[in-house]
């Protein structure tokens, strides 16, 4: 035996082969093969038993509710008095006195300011003298008429007595023409009196207009003059005061977008807030929706007027308000969140178990799922997804009104309490 081993050792040495090294390499290859097969089997078992389960998405749901749905239209605008009057002056002059100030309550015909009337008073005196002169000329013309009439009558009497011989026809015609001229002068003098009277009345009217009076019962909002200031009314009447008739009743003028104006009607109720009272909500009612359009920066809006009760005078003209107009209310409606209408589950990978070990290890082509549901062209036809057996199931529904958060379901296999999917919590590891 020993000689045989020695002989093999000598042969191995002669050939350059180490027998112990060869055995070690053989064992190493066997162990690597065993380890590889174990890893492959473990991976195959992991895939087979749900190794893709951690990649399965998890969903966030919300139960279907039943309740009241209120649709609102939001618009912004400013508060204005029900009747706002701008008081101006038709004549020019220097302000002599100002007899009303900001926030003063005034009555009809109450004096607000006075202008200096010295120039107008001098014109009045001059025009009165011109009127008296015209009236004197009327008296003079009447006397001339009486004189020429008497002379003409005398000539007619003489002519009758003389049988038409005297006076001559030329003298008679001259007397008659003088009488006619006298009557014309009287008419002219009378017209001059009327003209002088009218001119005097114009000046007296200007004197009266120099006293600025309130046309309404109200309150002074603005005052634009001071004593000693010159008022120039050459081309247009300058605004001296702005009066509001009644601040206990005000109007809110808001601009409604063209996309919402079709839902806004007269008589609808609204709530609004102002920056001055962030903790208060004021009530209003629509009294007018105007047809005239306003375009600002390419945006088309329509002015809508709301009536506001302001008995405590907390609201003031010019305040900016944000109004929420209630355009529709739906009672006892089946409601789903708007997020459920926007949700669509992610696509799932197709699982193929018929390919054996290679089929488990190699990914297959993606499989189309119901997540890519076809939506009806009619926007009222939508799809919501409900969770059944931890899997999303598509349910076609017909939607109704929406307030931007919740949407009414008119028809479909949707019941109160049913969990509808609104979002994916996670997808992947």
Min mean pLDDT across 53-67, 319-333, 360-374, 407-421 is at 360-374
> Would the pLDDT of 184 be above 70?
yes
Closest CA to 306 of 49, 91, 73: 73
Average pLDDT over residues 201-209: 94
CB 252 within 8 A of CB 77: yes
Closest C-alpha among 214, 221, 280 to residue 250: 221
Q: What integer pLDDT is reported at residue 23 of this predicted model?
A: 64
Mean of pLDDT values over 87-93: 93
Residues 386, 390, 392, 393, CA torsion sign: negative
pLDDT of residue 321: 97
pTM: 0.64
Residue 361 pLDDT grade (very low, low, confident, very high; cuts 50, 70, 90): very low
Helix, strand, coil shares, percent, the chain, to 5: 35, 35, 30
Please say if the pLDDT value at position 360 is more than 70.
no
Across 21-35, 43-57, 159-173, least confident range: 43-57
CA dist 70 and 380 (Å) reads: 18
C-alpha 14/C-alpha 75 separation (Å) is 104
For residues 356 and 350, is the Cβ–Cβ distance under 8 A?
Answer: no
58-73: average pLDDT: 90
Name the helix (H) or strand (E) containing 397: strand 391-402
> Above 80 in pLDDT, residue 183?
yes
- Centre a 10 Å sphere on the Cβ of residue 214 and count the other Cβ atoms it contains: 21
Looking at residue 49, what is its pLDDT?
52
State yes or no: pLDDT of 170 exceeds 50.
yes
User: Could you give phi then psi for residue 276, rounded to 5 degrees?
Assistant: -70, -25
Tens of pLDDT, residue by residue over 36-62, are 777 777 666 655 554 444 556 788 899
Are the CB atoms for 425 and 58 separated by under 8 Å?
Answer: yes
Q: How many CA atoms lie within 13 A of 294 on its CB side?
A: 13
DSSP secondary structure code for residue 365 in this structure: P
Q: How far apart are CA 163 and CA 158, in angstroms?
A: 8
Strand partners, 390: none
Q: How far apart are CA 238 and CA 88, in angstroms?
A: 5
Please give the average per-residue pLDDT across 139-159, as a whole number.
Answer: 93
Q: What is the pLDDT of residue 19?
A: 53
User: Hey, how many other C-beta atoms are within 10 angstroms of the C-beta on 384?
Assistant: 27
pLDDT above 50 for 362: no
C-alpha to C-alpha distance for 330 and 134, rounded to whole angstroms: 82
Per-residue pLDDT at 121 exceeds 50: yes
Q: What is the pLDDT of residues 297-312, one digit of tens each?
A: 999 999 999 999 999 9
Q: What confidence score (pLDDT) does residue 7 get?
A: 52
pLDDT range class, residue 25, cuts 50, 70, 90? low
What is the SS3 assignment for 170?
Answer: helix
CA pair distance 244, 213, nearest whole angstrom? 14
**Pairwise CA distance, residues 18 & 26, whole Å:** 13
Report, as an integer, the average pLDDT of 153-165: 88
User: Across the chain, what does the average pLDDT equal?
Assistant: 84
Phi, psi of 260 (to 5 degrees): -110, -15
Give percent of the chain above pLDDT 90. 60
Of the pLDDT bands very low, low, confident and very high (cuts 50, 70, 90), residue 373 is: very low
Determine contact, residues 81/251, Cβ cutoff 8 Å: yes
pLDDT higher than 90, residue 287: yes
- Cβ 207 vs Cβ 225: under 8 Å: no
CA distance 40 to 43: 5
Q: 94-97, long-range: CB within 8 Å, 24+ apart, which pairs?
A: 94/228, 94/229, 94/230, 94/231, 95/225, 95/226, 95/227, 95/228, 95/229, 95/230, 95/231, 96/227, 97/227
Mean pLDDT for 309-335 is 94
Comparison of pLDDT for 39 and 289, the residue scoring more: 289
pLDDT, position 9: 53
DSSP string, 200-243: HHHHHHHHHHTEEE-SSSEEEEEE---TTPEE--SSSPPEEEEE
**Mean pLDDT within 29-39:** 73
Residue 124 is predicted with a pLDDT of: 95
Other residues' Cβ atoms within 10 Å of the Cβ of residue 310: 17
């Amino acid at each position: 035996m020993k000689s045989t081993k020695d002989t093999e050792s000598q042969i191995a040495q002669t050939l350059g082969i180490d027998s112990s090294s060869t055995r070690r390499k053989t064992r190493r290859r066997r162990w690597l093969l065993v380890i590889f097969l174990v890893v492959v089997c473990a991976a195959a078992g992991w895939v087979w038993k749900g190794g893709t389960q951690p990649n399965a998405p998890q969903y966030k749901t919300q139960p279907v509710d039943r309740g009241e749905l209120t649709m609102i239209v939001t618009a912004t605008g400013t508060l204005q008095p029900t009747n706002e009057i701008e008081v101006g002056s038709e004549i020019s002059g220097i302000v002599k006195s100002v007899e009303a100030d900001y926030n003063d309550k005034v009555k009809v015909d109450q004096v607000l300011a006075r202008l200096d009337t010295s120039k107008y008073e001098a014109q009045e005196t001059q025009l009165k003298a011109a009127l008296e002169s015209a009236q004197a000329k009327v008296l003079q013309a009447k006397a001339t008429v009486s004189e020429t009439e008497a002379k003409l009558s005398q000539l007619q009497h003489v002519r009758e007595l003389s049988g038409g011989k005297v006076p001559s026809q030329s003298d008679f015609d001259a007397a008659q023409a003088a009488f006619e001229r006298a009557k014309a002068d009287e008419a002219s003098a009378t017209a001059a009196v009327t003209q002088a009277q009218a001119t005097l009345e114009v000046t007296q009217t200007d004197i009266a207009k120099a006293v600025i009076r309130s046309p309404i019962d109200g309150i002074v909002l603005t005052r634009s003059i001071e004593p000693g200031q010159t008022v120039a009314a050459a081309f247009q009447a300058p605004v001296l005061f702005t009066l509001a008739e009644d601040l206990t009743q005000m109007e809110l003028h808001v601009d409604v977008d063209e996309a919402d104006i079709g839902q806004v009607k007269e008589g609808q109720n609204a709530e609004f807030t102002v920056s001055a009272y962030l903790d208060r909500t004021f009530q209003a009612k629509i009294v007018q929706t105007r047809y005239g359009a306003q375009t600002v920066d390419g945006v088309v809006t329509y002015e809508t007027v709301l009536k506001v009760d302001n008995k405590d005078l907390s609201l003031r003209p010019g305040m900016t308000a944000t109004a929420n107009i209630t355009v529709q209310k739906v009672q006892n409606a089946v409601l789903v969140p708007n997020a459920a209408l926007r949700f669509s589950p992610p696509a799932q990978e197709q699982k193929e178990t018929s390919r054996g070990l290679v089929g488990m290890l190699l990914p297959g082509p993606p499989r189309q799922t119901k997540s890519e549901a076809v939506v009806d062209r009619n926007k009222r036809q939508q799809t919501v997804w409900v969770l059944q057996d931890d899997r999303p199931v598509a349910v076609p529904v017909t939607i109704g009104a929406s307030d931007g958060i919740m949407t009414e379901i008119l028809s479909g296999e949707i019941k109160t309490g049913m969990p509808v999917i609104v979002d994916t919590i996670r997808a992947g590891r």
